[in-house]
């Protein structure tokens, strides 16, 4: 299945049915009076977040979604049938944007979240509604209300607890394959990863979801490479794991490049908790590894993990550190919802 995280769709709710002008016609009833029914309401357009989807590829092949219009009213006080609603099923984590691609209409972050995008038009009144003491035989009815037509954007931001960031060939895909059942493409050339990958990671009988996005390069926040296209997928993460290639001779520059791009893209990414790890430890001798680790710790201003996805070195410690940050973020979120504890 191809990955698609942005789609433009055209929607239109159904128009209301027209009211009916009708008069009762029965034998032996001289003054039957008006009996025109109302038109049916038009169908609405809804969007709902469902399980089992992680791409918007369905909306590449179908972009127009039109709800049914209501049926006109009929004689004998019969109301027209209401038009059927239409429902767009999207992955959890989808944002609904207005046509300007900036205004957020809704953010569907949980299974079952449901939003009405376009309400169906009301049905018109039949002539029975206009009967009064001074107008016993009204010969008028209302037309149905027209439906709403609009253009919207669907933007998917994957729901993951931890996100992997780093330069191309920093070992992100190798790390994800080593700690989860995900099988991303791994090769010895840059930009092997072209779409985000998700994996479920287990540590100490606990599980969390990790996202691997394509490698960032200098200028990614301005549109260079694939960075700006996929950085949104780590916006929802509780913690970022910054992987730095240990075989690089410019590790401090590599580290600062990624940090600068995260901060330039969005303040929320720059402020997220980050854990830094030096990768490919199996390819370095002890002296070189120690020197580069000290240099990176000086640039980070804190501890740096040394790992190797191929040799399975240091992975458990990194996963425990990530899980601790995820738990802390969840607890902070619960306190915001319930308010401070009161004795």
Which residues does the annotation place in the binding site?
Answer: 166-173, 191-195, 212-215, 279-282, 308-310
**Binding site for Mg(2+), residues?**
173, 193
**Binding site for GTP, residues?**
166-173, 191-195, 212-215, 279-282, 308-310
Q: Are 141 and 73 in contact (CB under 8 A)?
A: yes
Alpha-carbon gap, residue 179 to 203, rounded angstroms: 9
Task: Locate 280 and state its tokens.
Answer: 């490919």
Alpha-carbon gap, residue 39 to 74, rounded angstroms: 8
Alpha-carbon gap, residue 196 to 202, rounded angstroms: 19
Residue 280 φ/ψ region, left for φ over 0, alpha for ψ in the -120 to 50 degree band, beta for the rest: left
CA 289 to chain centre: 40
Closest CA to 227 of 235, 159, 209: 235
Find residue 241's DSSP bridge partners. Answer: 164, 275
Alpha-carbon gap, residue 124 to 183, rounded angstroms: 57
């Amino acid at each position: 299945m191809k990955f698609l995280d942005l789609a433009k769709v055209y929607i239109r709710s159904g128009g209301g049915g027209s009211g009916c002008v009708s008069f009762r016609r029965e034998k032996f009833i001289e003054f039957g009076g008006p009996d025109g029914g109302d038109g049916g309401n038009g169908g609405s357009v809804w969007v709902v977040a469902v399980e089992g989807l992680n791409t918007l590829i369905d909306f590449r092949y179908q972009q127009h979604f039109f709800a049914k219009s209501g049926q006109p009213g009929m004689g004998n006080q019969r109301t027209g049938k209401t038009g059927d609603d239409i429902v767009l099923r999207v992955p959890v984590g989808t944002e609904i944007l207005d046509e300007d691609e900036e205004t957020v209409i809704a953010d569907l972050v949980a299974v079952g979240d449901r939003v009405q995008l376009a309400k169906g038009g009301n049905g018109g009144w039949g002539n029975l509604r206009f009967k009064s003491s001074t107008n016993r035989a009204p010969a008028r009815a209302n037309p149905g209300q027209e439906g709403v037509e609009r253009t919207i954007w669907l933007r998917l931001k994957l729901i993951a607890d931890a996100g992997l960031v780093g330069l191309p060939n920093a070992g992100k895909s190798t790390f994800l394959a080593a700690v989860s059942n995900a099988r991303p493409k791994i090769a010895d050339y840059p930009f092997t990863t072209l779409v985000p990958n998700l994996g479920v990671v287990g540590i100490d009988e606990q599980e969390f979801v990790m996202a691997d996005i394509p490698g960032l390069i200098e200028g990614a926040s301005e549109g260079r490479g694939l960075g700006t296209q996929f950085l949104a997928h780590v916006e929802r993460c509780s913690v970022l794991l910054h992987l730095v290639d240990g075989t690089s001779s410019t590790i401090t520059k590599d580290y600062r490049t990624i940090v600068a791009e995260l901060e330039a893209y969005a303040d929320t990414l720059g402020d997220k908790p980050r854990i830094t790890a030096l990768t490919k430890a199996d390819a370095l001798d002890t002296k070189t590894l120690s020197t580069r680790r000290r240099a990176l710790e000086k640039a980070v201003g804190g501890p740096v993990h040394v790992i190797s996805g191929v040799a399975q070195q240091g992975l458990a410690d990194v996963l425990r550190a990530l899980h601790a940050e995820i738990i802390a973020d969840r607890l902070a979120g619960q306190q915001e919802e319930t308010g401070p504890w009161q004795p």
